[in-house]
Structure 1
Amino acid sequence: MTTTGEEHATALTGPWWWTRWRSALFDGSLALASAAECAAEGVPFARDAGIPLAAGLVFGLLAGSVLLIRRRWPIAVVLVAIAVTPAQMGFLMGIVGLYTLAACELPRRVIGALAGMSLFGTMIVTFVRVRQDMARGDFTLGDWFVPFAAVTTSLGLTAPPLLLGLYVGARRRLMESLRERADSLERELQLLAERAEERAEWARSEERTRIAREMHDVVAHRVSLMVVHAAALQAVARKDPEKAVKNAALVGDMGRQALTELREMLGVLRSGGEEQGRERRERVAAASVPLVAVGVAAAAAA
């Protein structure tokens, strides 16, 4: 996972560490706005500090441009924002940096420590500035206003981006968890479907084997009867032509019955009807003549 909660496996279609060009353009716009703000605030800072205006302007531009790396190094952005707080610059950078920090996959103790540093830094700077303004007589209010302004300003600049970032980060992690669960469920369903298909194929194979075995039993029974009657026909062909004709007709009937039963069993094999196959097997068993009885009849005819 990256510092903003995005997976490294995501295809990078943007420049450098950005996943999309839209994100890069958005961060670039924020960095330009922050650089312009810090540059504008660097001019009065240079006057108060007694340094050249160009130095304050360049310092503000460089400090504000740090917002460009907020997705890659959010800790660095927050630290720079805290460092430039005494110069009264980098408000946009501090707000966006805290939001990015809270939304990323960093330990909560790190986020809390940096947020606390930003809170107390803003509170101290606001307290000092408001006290100086009141000392110069810019406005006259009670002594209560100084701590009130310091607390409300620091909380207003720290709490909203921090809470929003925590919410966005938690929502992103929840969506990723739900997506992973959905993918896992899809894989499990696919595996179950494959196993069900394997079981169905195994059941079909077993059914084919059973029907083939029954076909073999029925057809073998009929063919055995035909062999017995053919032997009897051969034995009585010369002695009793009439019996030979009867035995030949019986052999033909048995052959036709064998073909009929074979067609019926093939129909069962095609349809897979268990009940129909059971009924046909019972009908075949009822219509079959015992092999021993046929042998006795053939011996008697001989």
Structure 2
Amino acid sequence: MTTSRRRAAAINAGLAVAALAVGLTSDQNILYGGTDRPAALRVADLILGVGCFAGIWIWRHSRPVAFAVVAVVIGVVSTLAGGIGLICAFTVAEHRHWRTAVVVGALAAVSIVPALVLYPVPHAVRAFTVGALATFAVTGWGMFVRARRQLLDSMRRQVRDAEHRAIERAAAARRAERERIAREMHDVLAHRLSLLAVHAGALEYNRGASAEEVVTIAAIIRSNCHEALNELRQVINLLRATTLAGQLPQPTLADLPALLEESRSAGLEVSCTVSPRVLQHVEHSSTSTGSALYRVVQEALTNVRKHAPQARVRIEMHDTDDGIELSVRNHASPVTPTGAAPPGSGTGLTGLRERVSLSGGRIEYHPVADDGYQVRAWLPCATTEQGTT
């Protein structure tokens, strides 16, 4: 027998003993009272009482209302089962709605009247009053137990829900932080490694390069390796931090000329037009706006180097009524890519979409005429004073 079953059996046994004690307090109880009653009534008292006591184990929890009604009716005839009505009133109040509990309690109180008529006792009014008060007292007690249990269950559910929400928020924060670091690693390393691949490819396929050209390209490769290691070290330091509150250094539009020069050195023909108002807008906007614009250009140039080496690229940034619009368009490459293109996971543009979305903007990318490709983005910015040129 399990612990819960042993506990339930012990409770039922205790209730049965209490009910028997209540029944034996009557002056007309079957053991030493009412000896002048007919034998048939005494036998019915005993049999019905024993049946009610058995019902405490069988029906008290499974059918509390039906058992209570039957026990109250039997209690009119059986003095032995006189106390079971109190137990049933408490059980119904503990496990059923308060309206049902009140009805059963009232029925148990009213049943005292025919019981007193069948088994007269001295001071009948006092006996009825005591019995009715006891019935409503146990009914109220059962209601209190039910309300307290419901309150505790509600509090436990609230605590569990709060814990689940806290776990979900923590998981979402960790996921967002991992995605942010993944975007930074991709944006930084993909750009540097694509430059390395382009210059290493030039060394591999330009067998007739002079010693001076080899030294120049090797210096570029060495410089980019150094920059890649520094940027990777920054990401690793962030991952090793005790908290994830640190921020990686974010590039801005002020770093755009260096980015364009790196792409030109890799063989791209890049032209860039930035409206003066764009720079003024970025100064009045959050740092994420300038960083997002830089990252869009960086990823677009990286993809051009991978898939259209030595292509002509046109970059335009101009202001609109409510933001900044960026366009990066490349024409078809005049040369066929040699060797295998640097592998890509396809997550670069997806990361850009997430980055631009976090800044409150939107982005789209699609092929255009002449086998070219275009990336267009729009980002919001702070409103500057009217008349600024």
Does the TM-score normalized on the shorter chain lie above 0.5? yes
Matching of residue 251 in structure 1 with residue 251 in structure 2: no
Whole-Å separation in 2 of the counterparts to 1:123 and 1:58: 19
Tell me the residue number matched to 1:240: none
CA deviations 1:150-177 (Å, max 9, x no partner) are 4332121221242233223332243135
Higher RCO (CA 8 Å, separation ≥ 6 residues) = 1
Tell me the residue number matched to 2:137: 163
TM-score (norm: length of structure 1): 0.60
CA distance 1:153–1:104, change in 2 (3 Å): farther
In terms of Rg, which structure is larger?
A: 1
CA distance 1:82–1:97, change in 2 (3 Å): farther
268, 274, 283: which is aligned to 2:234? 268
127, 135, 143: which is aligned to 1:153? 127
Matching of residue 110 in structure 1 with residue 103 in structure 2: yes
Whole-Å separation in 2 of the counterparts to 1:77 and 1:116: 13
47, 60, 63: which is aligned to 1:62? 47
* 2:140 maps to amino acid: L
Deviation at 1:256, TM superposition (A): 1.7
Deviates more, 1:285-294 or 1:56-65: 285-294
- The aligned runs of 1:107-146 (5 Å cut-off) are 107-108=100-101, 110-121=103-114, 129-130=121-122
CA distance 1:110–1:90, change in 2 (3 Å): same
Tell me the residue number matched to 2:250: 278
Deviation at 1:285, TM superposition (A): 6.9
Structure ranking higher in strand proportion: 2
CA distance 1:129–1:230, change in 2 (3 Å): closer
CA distance 1:231–1:108, change in 2 (3 Å): closer
CA deviations 1:205-234 (Å, max 9, x no partner) are 353134213322233335545666899994
Q: Secondary structure at the match of 2:5?
A: coil
* Contact 2:109/2:135 (8 A) holds in 1: no
**Unmatched runs of 5 consecutive residues or more in structure 2:** 62-66, 240-245, 268-389
The alignment's C-alpha RMSD in Å is 4.4
* 2:250 maps to amino acid: R
45, 56, 81: which is aligned to 2:34? 45
* Contact 1:95/1:157 (8 A) holds in 2: no
TM-score (norm: length of structure 2): 0.49
**What percentage of aligned pairs have identical amino acids?**
14
Whole-Å separation in 2 of the counterparts to 1:282 and 1:80: 94
How many residues end up aligned between the 2 structures?
248
CA distance 1:61–1:290, change in 2 (3 Å): closer
**Unmatched runs of 5 consecutive residues or more in structure 1:** 1-9, 131-148, 238-243, 296-302
Structure ranking higher in helix proportion: 1
Deviation at 1:125, TM superposition (A): 6.7
Deviation at 1:111, TM superposition (A): 1.5
Whole-Å separation in 2 of the counterparts to 1:232 and 1:93: 103
57, 71, 92: which is aligned to 1:77? 71
Deviation at 1:268, TM superposition (A): 3.3
Tell me the residue number matched to 1:221: 195
Q: Secondary structure at the match of 2:29?
A: helix
Deviation at 1:114, TM superposition (A): 0.8
CA distance 1:170–1:37, change in 2 (3 Å): closer
* Contact 2:46/2:78 (8 A) holds in 1: no
* Contact 2:90/2:139 (8 A) holds in 1: yes
* 2:111 maps to amino acid: S
* 2:17 maps to amino acid: S
